[in-house]
C-alpha cells in the first residue's frame, strides 16, 4: 500500500534503523519501533529532514510507514494518488499583513517561496 503524500504516515529515519521520535531542549530522541516514531505528511517530513541535515544529521531520510526509504518511484506513486498541496503563501498584502510579524520573519528566513512571494507583493 502506498500512502498519499498528505497522509500522516511518513517517518524520518536517522540511520541505523532508528526513527525520529522528538526534539526537546535541543536533544533528539529516537526509537527502533516505527509505530512509536513521529508521523508526518510527506511535505512536513521532507522539511524536517532538511532541517535535521543542516543540524548535522546527514543520514536523515523520509521513509514510508514501514521504514522503507522514499525512492523516486515511491514518491511518484504517492503523488499520483495525492491532491496537490494547498499553497499557504499570502495572495495579497492584506493576507501578508494578517500574519504575525514574528511568523513573517521566520518564514522569510526559512522558506524561499515565502520570501519570493513577500518580495513580489511588496514591490507592487
The answer to whether position 30 is within a domain reads yes
Q: Are residues 50 and 76 in the same domain?
A: yes
- Mean pLDDT throughout 59-85? 81
The answer to whether position 15 is within a domain reads yes
Task: Retrieve residue 36's grid coordinates.
Answer: 512509536
What's residue 80's pLDDT?
74
Burial class (CB in 10 A: 0-12, 13-18, 19+), 64: buried
pLDDT tens-digit series, residues 40-62: 999 999 999 998 998 888 999 99
The HSE-up count of residue 119 (CA atoms within 13 Å, CB side) is: 8
The answer to whether position 88 is within a domain reads no
pLDDT above 60: residue 84? no
> How many domains are there within the chain?
2
pLDDT above 90: residue 111? no
Full residue range of the structural domain in which residue 18 is found: 11-80
pTM, two decimal places? 0.62
What's residue 85's pLDDT?
55
Amino acid at each position: 500500500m502506498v500512502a498519499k503524500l498528505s497522509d500522516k504516515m511518513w517517518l524520518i529515519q536517522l540511520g541505523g534503523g532508528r526513527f525520529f521520535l522528538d526534539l526537546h531542549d535541543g536533544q533528539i530522541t529516537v526509537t527502533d519501533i516505527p509505530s512509536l516514531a513521529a508521523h508526518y505528511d510527506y511535505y512536513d517530513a521532507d522539511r524536517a529532514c532538511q532541517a535535521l541535515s543542516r543540524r548535522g544529521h546527514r543520514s536523515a531520510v523520509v521513509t514510508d510507514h514501514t521504514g522503507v526509504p522514499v525512492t523516486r518511484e515511491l514518491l511518484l506513486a504517492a503523488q499520483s494518488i495525492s491532491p496537490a498541496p494547498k499553497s499557504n503563501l499570502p495572495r495579497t498584502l492584506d493576507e501578508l499583513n494578517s500574519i504575525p510579524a514574528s511568523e513573517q520573519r521566520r518564514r522569510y528566513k526559512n522558506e524561499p517561496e515565502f520570501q519570493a512571494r513577500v518580495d513580489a507583493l511588496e514591490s507592487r
